[in-house]
């Protein structure tokens, strides 16, 4: 049975950066208020690019970096909660655009855990033996769901994409993973409700914005991150001392700080870029990995733990030997 190795990671974000000061001109807020509660300074916001277009940029960068030809890809998975369309899937749009004619393609909806869910799915396809190379992308245009008049949520989210090409390998790569969900708490963090439109009733307008019970999901996140990381160390037998970086979903600096304290780990062990991207949901871990790789932080043999948590509610962690 094969392992699933990471060939390369890449990321992309729209050029337009919106700072906290820019937002303070729109709603009653301030840089100090936003930064002290979230760790966010700025976020990238699309001025027209849709999710699939950002995915295609990431895919092209990955194909160039690895030298893999599009027709060598067996599988394309895009993790997103902000697809261009309900159908065709974002993954199919990518498959068509890059000419990956031999790849199966589908989207995964697991919010901020989506990239870990998708890597885990790709790992299972590869372990089953028939698939050798997969393109896995996390991408979001969360600005589509932002209520620019709601000062409590409009400051939190950003747009961007990141991804990986993974391949069947003899050893290393994805060593262990764990995925969880708790649908019974799902209404604590919702976005883009799609109402039924009966032909006789007058349609209510969709409330397509994010609505969150901040305190409840904050408590959820700080509870499940240490739990799922501990499961990974138990499953793999790898000690946290031997892990170079933990790459968490970038939802809020305070969540990461809390989790680090509970795990008795220095905050420096966590890769954090929320200051420049805000919360990009399924894209956040993938963007972080892309940046880390391009900064030379990820060397062959390094052990890295990814940890995601988000709407659904969903959460999960994964240990990768680079």
Q: What angle do CA 51, 249, 303 make, to 5 degrees?
A: 115
**Residue number, nearest CB to ligand B82:** 214
Stretch that binds ligand B82, among 59-67, 130-138, 237-245, 248-256 (CB under 6 A): 248-256
Q: What are the φ/ψ torsions at residue 103 (nearest 5 degrees)?
A: -95, 135
User: By rule CB under 6 A, what count of residues binds ligand B82?
Assistant: 17
Per the listing, tokens 């069947």 go with: 168
| Phi-psi label, residue 48: left if phi above 0, alpha if psi -120 to 50, beta otherwise | left
Quick check: 143 binds ligand B82 (CB under 6 A)? no
* Chosen residue from 191, 248, 290, 310 binding ligand B82 by CB under 6 A: 310
Q: How far is the CB of 23 from ligand B82 (least distance, A)?
A: 13
Residues near 138 by Cβ (< 8 Å), separated by ≥ 6? 78, 79, 80, 114, 115, 118, 161, 162, 163, 281, 282, 283, 284, 285, 286, 287
Written as six digits, the tokens of 277 are 């991207």
Stretch that binds ligand B82, among 21-29, 90-98, 158-166, 217-225 (CB under 6 A): 217-225
Task: List the catalytic residues.
Answer: 112, 249, 279
Q: Which is nearer to ligand B82, 125 or 210 (CB)?
A: 210
* Chosen residue from 76, 79, 251, 260 binding ligand B82 by CB under 6 A: 251
Closest by CA to 38, choosing from 268, 273, 271, is 273
Quick check: 221 binds ligand B82 (CB under 6 A)? yes
Quick check: 12 binds ligand B82 (CB under 6 A)? no
Quick check: 243 binds ligand B82 (CB under 6 A)? no
| DSSP assigned state of 186 | G
Q: Which residues lie near ligand B82 (CB under 6 A)?
A: 37-38, 112, 156, 214-215, 217-218, 220-221, 251-252, 254-255, 279, 309-310
């Amino acid at each position: 049975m094969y392992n699933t190795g990471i060939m390369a990671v890449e990321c992309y974000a729209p050029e337009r950066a919106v700072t906290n000061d820019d937002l303070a001109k729109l709603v009653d807020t301030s840089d100090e208020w936003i930064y002290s509660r979230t760790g966010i300074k700025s976020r990238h916001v699309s001025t027209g690019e849709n999710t699939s277009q950002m995915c295609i940029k990431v895919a092209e960068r990955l194909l160039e970096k690895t030298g893999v030809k599009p027709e060598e890809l067996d599988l394309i998975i895009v993790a997103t909660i902000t697809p261009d369309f309900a159908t065709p899937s974002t993954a199919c749009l990518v498959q068509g655009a890059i000419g990956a004619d031999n790849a199966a393609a589908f989207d995964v909806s697991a919010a901020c855990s989506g990239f870990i869910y998708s890597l885990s799915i790709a790992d299972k396809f590869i372990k089953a033996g028939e698939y050798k190379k997969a393109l896995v992308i996390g991408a979001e245009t969360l600005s589509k769901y932002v209520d620019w008049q709601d000062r409590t949520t409009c400051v939190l989210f950003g747009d961007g994409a990141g991804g990986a090409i993974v391949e069947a390998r003899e050893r290393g790569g994805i060593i262990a993973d764990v995925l969880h969900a708790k649908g019974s708490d799902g209404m604590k963090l919702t976005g883009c409700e799609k109402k039924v439109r009966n032909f006789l009733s007058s349609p209510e307008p969709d409330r397509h914005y994010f609505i969150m019970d901040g305190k409840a999901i904050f408590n959820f996140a700080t509870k499940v991150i240490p739990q799922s990381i501990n499961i990974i160390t138990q499953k793999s037998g790898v000690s946290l001392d031997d892990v170079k970086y933990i790459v968490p979903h970038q939802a809020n600096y305070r969540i990461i700080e809390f989790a680090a304290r509970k795990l008795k780990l220095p905050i420096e062990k966590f890769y954090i870029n929320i200051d420049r991207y805000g919360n990009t949901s399924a894209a956040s871990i993938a963007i972080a990995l892309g940046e880390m790789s391009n900064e030379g932080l990820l060397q062959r043999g390094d052990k890295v733990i990814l940890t995601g948590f988000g709407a659904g509610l969903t959460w999960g962690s994964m240990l990768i030997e680079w």
